[in-house]
Amino acid sequence: MISNYRNWTLVFLVALLAGCATSRHSAPQPKPPTAQLFPPDALVTQRGVLTVLGRQFTLNGYVAKSETLGLRLIMTENFGTVLADVLVKPDGKVFVMQSKSPFRQAWVEHYIAADLKCIFSDTMEKNCPMQLLSQSHFAIKRRWYKLDLQTVEVKPGPQPAELFDETHKATP
């Protein structure tokens, strides 16, 4: 009986390991819930409220989206001052073009870029705590902050290549 138990255990372990190896590598990468909401090439205008440790900031965001060149976000305050400017290349590499108080460069690089990829990337980002509240309303809740975004306008069409050049700074 012990020999029979060992045989079944061995068969179970082989099947379990074989199943894990094939399922991890052959599973297609899921599309994010926002993948169909934005054209592959577009200029998207959004308004948002960022809540950090109880303090609220109203923001405007201009996202240039290019299927081949990446994503560019220029975030402004209500009077037009640029607070953050970040470029995300198609390979995921992040370039912080500008950051001003209250956004430190590291915060822009790690959190704002992650949220940008979370909403606009064509592949599902890991650790993407986004809720799709409606076709034009998103919420991202992380440990220290909450971002509530409304899409105001989407202008489909190719975006200027200069926007995606990490050596060139642009303003909206």
Q: Write the single-letter amino acid at 34.
A: T
* Confidence (pLDDT) at 33: 63
In eight-state DSSP terms, residue 90 is: T
Please compute the mean of the pLDDT values over residues 93-117 and round it to a whole number: 92
pLDDT digits (tens, 9 = 90+) for 32-45: 567 678 999 999 99
Residue 136 has pLDDT above 90, yes or no: yes
Mean pLDDT for all residues in the chain: 81
Residue 22 has pLDDT above 60, yes or no: no
Burial class (CB in 10 A: 0-12, 13-18, 19+), 101: exposed
Q: Which of 12-21, 56-65, 156-165 has the lowest mean pLDDT?
A: 12-21
Structure token digits, residue 83: 């607070």
Domains of the chain, first to last: 42-160 (2.30.29)
pLDDT digits (tens, 9 = 90+) for 71-92: 999 999 988 899 999 999 999 9
Between 115 and 9, residue with greater pLDDT: 115
